[in-house]
Structure 1
Amino acid sequence: MNKINAIVVGSGNVGLKVIDVLLNTNDFNLVGAIRRSGEPIAEYPNIEVKKSVDEFSEKIDVAFLAIPTREVPKQAKEFLAKGIHTVDSYDIHSNILDVKTELAEVAKKYNAVAVVSSGWDPGTDSIVRAMLIAMAPRGMTYTNFGPGMSMGHTVAVKAIEGVQNALSMTMPTGAGVHRRLVYVELAEGASRDVVENAIKTDPYFINDETHVRFVDDVDALKDVGHGVELTRKGVSGSTGNQNFMFKMSIDNPALTAQVMVSSGRAATRLQSGAYTLIEIPMVDFLEGERDEWIKALV
């Protein structure tokens, strides 16, 4: 079996978990990781680390972009232009279609594949929502997240000037409505009012009820556990009162990483272009032969 040569870009919470997942698969070969510093990763000292993909001697098939969401479009284009497939976990829902369209143009030009917004939400939850709509086309779906840490929101707060450290918690209030609790360590000399306003007007927070609390030690509060509950009540044909529920409680970075790696596998089986998870055949995410999975699952 020819293994898929992969690199991990970034070594934060998700990047470390992507490395863990890759080391526990049979069809990937982890070539190394990219860090701005080029320094070894303390948790994985034997993994080769470079500052640029051009420094690796082996041909790279897939780059897993475990980087802040707002950096994804630029970096993805750079890898795609080298003919390397990319997988990201872009999570600003309102911009996903625009990013997909933008990356599709580059991917097709260089015969590569970009899997956009791979993770559990957006990502596998999107697949579940799509399936529930197929089962009951008319109706309503409610998604309740948490309680738990939102990685995307936390990274967004950390990027705000005047923030030393931060944690954003998602608290469900029911019927798909959420409250954001943001804990902030202020940088020296920063203004509480300025930082709080910047958080509440950021695209990640502007549509939710957001409470900002200033603390001395954010790390004392951190827990990467999260969860989701999807419910749909709808109509199949003319028959109403069809009720469905999907619920999970998970380690946020670990599940995001697992879905990203599965998406990287799918990327090698797709025609060039950009895809979200709902556009990819489910069997393409699975390790092994398609016919074997059909026999096992159908």
Structure 2
Amino acid sequence: LNAPVVAHISELNEVDATLVCVPLDAVMGVAKDLLQSRIPVVECARLHGEAFLAHKAEIHRAALHHKLPAVVGAGCDPGVFSLLRSHFALLAPGGHTETSRHSVPSLHHTLAATDIPGVRQALATESRSVEGRRQRYVYVELESSADVAAVTDAIVHDPLFLDEQTQVFPVHSLAALEAANHGVTFERRAAPGDPGHAAFLLEARYDEAWLAARMMLAAARALPFLQAGAYSLLDLPPGALWGEQRAAAEKEWI
């Protein structure tokens, strides 16, 4: 990366935005100093609920005073996961969301799944839902000729797995999965009696720092479209996160 390294940001010229990546107790002071220096801010403080709202309000006052925009909570969580949770809730209002996190080192090999025809390799991990029921997630790397539905059915109905709710996720490479350092599963279920009976499941594997950096860069692309003040990701139009690529993104994803 051909980028200058300086002792203080004042040594740089024409800074369009800053990504604040410092410990939580230093975020507020750094953000205020940057705003005072007339530099827009994107930060990723790990705060939720009332603590996040109070943090946002204080940065909002500073941003208004200096007539600059700032985006707060634009990391991994809050950040990426906030967007996913809120969109699931929009589609299944009044329902319930379960979040299961695991570190990839918690995955272990499972011979029961590996012995199923079409399965090249398999890894599994267990967790408990908020209601306390046991859940198992099985990741399978399949042969090219494998039938995904048949493999899934065989694993779910294997006697070894019948005592737990089991989800099966085909992956291209278990080696790549093991190289990731975090995993998460979001499940959103509609409220009882909801006529749509909606249910959404998202499974993800990721490097937390890499994911947070991607989200912060997207938030920085939105800064030129914003008035003075502090914004969370839920305040931003989705298209603004694409910046100059907005038209191309709309054409591809809509």
Which TM-score tier does this pair reach, normalised by the shorter chain? 0.5 to 0.7
Aligned to 2:186: 230
Aligned partner letter, 1:81 = Q
- Verify: 1:268 aligned to 2:220, yes or no: no
**Rounded Cα–Cα distance in structure 1 between residues aligned with 2:230 and 2:193:** 33
**Rounded Cα–Cα distance in structure 2 between residues aligned with 1:262 and 1:286:** 6
* C-alpha spacing 1:226/1:296, structure 2 compared with 1 (3 Å): same
* C-alpha spacing 1:264/1:236, structure 2 compared with 1 (3 Å): farther
**Rounded Cα–Cα distance in structure 1 between residues aligned with 2:193 and 2:230:** 33
Aligned-residue offset at 1:50: 1.5
Aligned-residue offset at 1:291: 3.2
Aligned to 2:208: 252
**Rounded Cα–Cα distance in structure 2 between residues aligned with 1:148 and 1:98:** 34
Residue 80 of structure 2 contacts residue 212 of structure 2 at CA under 8 Å; is this kept in 1?
no
Where relative contact order (Cα < 8 A, 6+ residues apart) is larger, the structure is 2
Aligned to 1:112: 68
Correspondence 1:142-221 to 2 at 5 A = 142-147=98-103, 173-175=128-130
Q: Matched residue of 1:144: which SS?
A: strand
- TM-score, length-normalised on structure 2? 0.67
Number of equivalenced pairs? 187
The structure with the greater share of residues assigned to helix is 2
Residue 96 of structure 2 contacts residue 191 of structure 2 at CA under 8 Å; is this kept in 1?
no
1:27-55 deviations in whole A, cap 9, x for unaligned?
Answer: xxxxxxxxxxxxxxxxx5x5322221211
**Rounded Cα–Cα distance in structure 2 between residues aligned with 1:251 and 1:71:** 23
Q: Matched residue of 2:89: which SS?
A: helix
Fraction of identical pairs, as percent: 28
What residue ranges of structure 2 are gaps of 5+ in the alignment? 106-125, 133-178
**Rounded Cα–Cα distance in structure 1 between residues aligned with 2:198 and 2:238:** 24
Aligned partner letter, 2:43 = D
Aligned to 1:126: 82
Root-mean-square deviation (CA, aligned residues, Å) is 2.5
What residue ranges of structure 1 are gaps of 5+ in the alignment? 1-43, 150-170, 178-222
* C-alpha spacing 1:235/1:82, structure 2 compared with 1 (3 Å): same
- Verify: 1:83 aligned to 2:38, yes or no: yes
User: Which one is further off, 104-113 or 280-289?
Assistant: 280-289
Residue 265 of structure 1 contacts residue 284 of structure 1 at CA under 8 Å; is this kept in 2?
yes
1:134-184 deviations in whole A, cap 9, x for unaligned?
Answer: 1111111111122269xxxxxxxxxxxxxxxxxxxxx9543398xxxxxxx
Residue 143 of structure 1 contacts residue 176 of structure 1 at CA under 8 Å; is this kept in 2?
no
